[in-house]
Amino acid sequence: MKTKGSIVLFLFYLIIDVVFAQAPLVLQPLDYTENPIDIPNPDRGAYRGRWQRVATNFGITPEVDHLVPVTENDVLFHGATLVGLATLGTIEGDDIEETQFYNGQNLSPNYAGGTGVSALPSVSFMAFDLARFSSNAFLTAMGAMNYREDKSFTDPLTGESRTGKTQPLTEYALNYIRGLLQKVREGNGVAFVKFSYDGNGFSYIEPSRYPHVVFPEGIIHGPEPGYITLNNPSAMCDVPGHTDKNWIEYHLWQLKPIFYEFEDVIMCVKTGMLGPWGEQHSSPMALNPQDRKMVFDAFLDVVPSSRKLLTTQLLFLSWYNLTYGTDFNVIDSIPVPQEGTPEARWGYFDDSYGSNYTNSGRYRTPDDRYRFTNWLYNMNTITQVEGGIGDNVFGNMPGAIIEAFLFRTTVANMRHGNYSRWSNFIYNEENVTAPVTFPATSTEMTPPFTGPTKAAIFDPVYDGKTGLEYFRDRLGYRLVLREAKVSEWVKNNGTLYFKGKIQNVGFGNIVNKKDVTVILKSKTGSDTYNVLTNLDARDWLTDENGNGRPDNTDAWRDLSFSIKMKDFGNVTTGEYEIYMKINDPKEQSQNKRSVRFANKGNSWNTELGANLIGVIIVR
């Protein structure tokens, strides 16, 4: 069908040439080869999680969320955000600084780097800890540990509360959140947003955080204000007009205006809210299917429908079963969601990427894992990973490359996980195409395995580079212009014709809608003319087999358009450069957060935030 369509389009242009004396299409002198370097783009790539392992009054925690203040008198807690010496109180906003991927070694006080591979993150991890607004949530690690010993919510010596106080989010708190999101807007990145009541993991014991003391791993106390305890006498909101909501639902209702106000820079929202770190495990509410459904329903209501909601497959499965009256125990029993349905809003959060065969208990058997990844691939959504790269067939390359295409891995925390497993891997044809046999059952703990045997596809563009460089660049989508033909000239009352091809060589696709605008820029002056096209960047799909090689012409997607010159306005005669600008429909700036092609050459115009696709003479 695509071939027939191309023939019809060609004949149409040919008829136009003959009947209306339209100028022929001319191949533009651009570089159509991929540049194997880091090309930061919105809604995909690496992000820098915050680290804090220095002694503070908050205790020791390996990952840090912004602890949202109630008033201006509250001490701020942000964690370390810069490469080098960890500093308490650094505020992360746009956070676009070149950073090395973490090599998994304890480099205290420096917790980033060691792999020799860097990235310029275009995603800001904007995680907000609402512990001060829950009487069940601990405010410090020491407070949680002391509660473990004496079961008291207050310090017996000082009388100070070890927890927050269940209450509405204050105006000061809401403005604090707005202020940090505004820093993202003022930068040139997007925000990956998360809210929870224990973003810093104070309610959960991880023995590795306390190496000199023997502690059993597990939950100390559930942090959510949505259930009754001695310290939290009511799970229901007491604000007049909102007594039908529990406190979690009310807090999200308060945040709804912010989600819409900053829709332009929010790439997706992690549903969080339940369990330590907002990872939706361990706590009483996180283990309750009805509470899981409640949380997902609340986010469906408060977050703009343009944005995906990232959560675990277990929470999503509970939501689906209770919503539709099904009894599925494996997620691939769910039909692939249709666009526009609530279930199509789902995106995948994976905090133990490649950690083991069953992914920290998220799958009962390796077979469940394969069924899940196949279903996830067909869903075509966002997958966010925390790292947790395991020394196994799933975590090591080339197996990790095979899995990434199935997961459509989109964003990854460059400070979480031993990325040296990939930076030490030399990306060449022999290494990449080595057959990988996966385990068939959970009893197959060591090779030889008897499961499916697969091989990754070698891309010669990255020959000799590291596996981490390849993985960094393939996160989410990556667009390479493969062909651009433009009318040699056009009358200012005629029609501009463009015939082009583009290839998406990434693990995934563009998920959030993008406007595709054509810009004419005078070569002799400063005049520019813009027209919004009907092209949909979400149609530029990656190859279904993960083949991003430049010779895979079957994966080249159509980029053709025609525009009547009158739609540009009153275009004066002269020579013009033609640019393509791809950005979010809600974008408020002139040139920020635009999609840049990964081509060699000097075709990117920073001032316009657009890609050069040709030159034309207007007569």
SS (H, E, C) 350-391: ECCCCCCCCCCCCCCCHHHHHHHHHHHHHHCCCEEECCCCCC
Say if residues 235 and 228 touch (Cβ distance below 8 Å). yes
Q: Which parts of the chain register pLDDT below 50? A: 1-3, 8, 10, 13-14, 16-20, 55, 81-92, 94, 360-361
Question: Which helix (H) or strand (E) covers residue 61, if one does?
Answer: none
Tokens describing residue 210: 């306390």
Closest C-alpha to 330, from 366, 378, 384: 366
Task: Count CB neighbours of 36 within 10 A.
Answer: 18
Cross-strand bridge partners of residue 516: 582
Report pLDDT for 88.
36
Closest C-alpha to 351, from 62, 564, 3: 62
Report pLDDT for 361.
47
Task: Count CB neighbours of 372 within 10 A.
Answer: 20
Predicted model pTM: 0.91
Report pLDDT for 418.
87
- Burial status of residue 511 (CB atoms within 10 A of its CB: 0-12, 13-18, 19 or more): buried
Give the three-class secondary structure for 485. strand
Report pLDDT for 355.
63
Task: Count CB neighbours of 89 within 10 A.
Answer: 12
Give the three-class secondary structure for 233. coil
| pLDDT digits 0-9 by tens, 85-114 | 333 333 445 466 788 898 887 655 555 688
Say if residues 24 and 566 touch (Cβ distance below 8 Å). no
- Chain position carrying tokens 């706590």: 283
**Both ends of the chain: CA-CA distance in Å?**
36
Report pLDDT for 22.
74
Question: C-alpha distances in angstroms, 454 versus 103, 311, 361, 437, 450?
Answer: 27, 29, 24, 6, 12
Task: Count CB neighbours of 590 within 10 A.
Answer: 11
Report pLDDT for 220.
96
Tokens describing residue 111: 């917790």
Report pLDDT for 593.
95
Task: Count CB neighbours of 602 within 10 A.
Answer: 9
Task: Count CB neighbours of 573 within 10 A.
Answer: 10
